[in-house]
Chains A and B, each alone.
Chain A
Amino acid sequence: DQQVKQNSPSLSVQEGRISILNCDYTNSMFDYFLWYKKYPAEGPTFLISISSIKDKNEDGRFTVFLNKSAKHLSLHIVPSQPGDSAVYFCAAHGDQGGSEKLVFGKGMKLTVNP
């Protein structure tokens, strides 16, 4: 049973426009949600996170929104740049079975066209 879902495998946007990446989760016990960015042949790198007690966190061009009632979060990138082209993983952190776990979604490939 997939606890963190990224239902769209890919997204293509024009440079300068907004990119919106979506993520849904099923476990209401998650306390932090994170986005990771991954370039080919590299390891994932942490991008931005949000606590479950907040509904928005902003860091430069990147903003994450959390809707707890809908168990949904989204990552907004404004304006999008070609260097943002990568695979983005949504992840959720929480205590599961007495130990802290980080659960990842399947990832979404973002392509920003010049």
Chain B
Amino acid sequence: NAGVTQTPKFQVLKTGQSMTLQCAQDMNHEYMSWYRQDPGMGLRLIHYSVGAGITDQGEVPNGYNVSRSTTEDFPLRLLSAAPSQTSVYFCASSPLAGGTAGELFFGEGSRLTVL
């Protein structure tokens, strides 16, 4: 009963490095999203996808890229990491139909530090 799986759980990067945060879900959910959580800022939406091949920007998309080639996977790419991207990142999914509106299933988070 995996749900939403995020890897890695912890990562330290140097400024300018690139990396990909992986997210996979096994619930056949159409909707997937990435949030970042910063102290005193709550959860802010970075990018989201309503199905394979469809992605869109959220509230804070700058510096991040996403793609959705399959229903299960929704990776988040940092092309050139900056200290401002130090945060905890959460991937979340939900069914577009049949579920409670707004109910998201979250992964356990990925803590990223950019030096």
Choose one: A42, A43, A45, A106; the contact of B42 (CB below 8 Å): A106
Most chain A Cβ neighbours within 10 Å, of B35, B101, B109: B101
Residues in chain B near residue A104, CB distance under 8 A = 35, 42-44
- Which residues of chain A from 78 to 114 have any CB-CB distance to chain B below 8 Å in the complex? 89, 91-93, 99-102, 104-107
B residues contacting the other copy or chain, number (CB 8 A): 21
- Are A89 and B100 within 8 A (Cβ)? no
Q: Does chain B have a CB within 8 A of A66? A: no
Contact A34 B103 (CB under 8 A): yes
Taking a contact as CB atoms under 8 Å apart, the answer to whether A107 and B104 are in contact is: no
Judge whether B108 and A46 touch: CB under 8 Å.
no
**Per-residue B-contact encoding for A1-28, CB less than 8 Å = 1, 0 else:** 0001010010000000000000000000
Given the known interface contacts A49-B102, A99-B56, the answer about A89 and B43 at a Cβ–Cβ threshold of 8 Å is yes
Q: Tell me the B76-106 residues at the A interface (CB within 8 Å).
A: 90, 92, 100-106
CB atoms of A44 and B43 under 8 A apart? yes
A107 touches which one: B35, B42, B56 (CB < 8 A)? B42
Number of A positions contacting B (CB below 8 A): 26
Q: Is the CB of A43 within 8 A of B103?
A: no
**A45/B106 in contact, CB under 8 A:** yes
Q: Which of chain B's residues have a CB closer than 8 A to the CB of A4?
A: 42
Q: Is B40 in the interface zone, CB < 8 Å from A?
A: yes
Q: Which residues of A contact B101 (CB under 8 A)?
A: 31-32, 49, 93, 100
On whether the beta carbons of A105 and B4 are closer than 8 Å, the reply is no
CB pair B104–A46 under 8 Å, yes or no, is: yes
Q: Does A41 contact B (CB under 8 A)?
A: yes
Pairwise interchain contact B102-A34, C-beta atoms closer than 8 A: yes
Chain A nearest Cβ from B94, distance in angstroms: 9
Q: Check if A43 sits within 8 Å of B102, measured CB to CB.
A: no
**In the complex, A55 Cα to B106 Cα: how many Å?**
27
Interface on B for A, CB 8 Å cutoff? Answer: 4, 35, 40-45, 56, 90, 92, 100-109
List residues of chain A with CB under 8 Å of any chain B CB. Answer: 4, 6, 9, 31-32, 34, 36, 41-46, 49, 89, 91-93, 99-102, 104-107
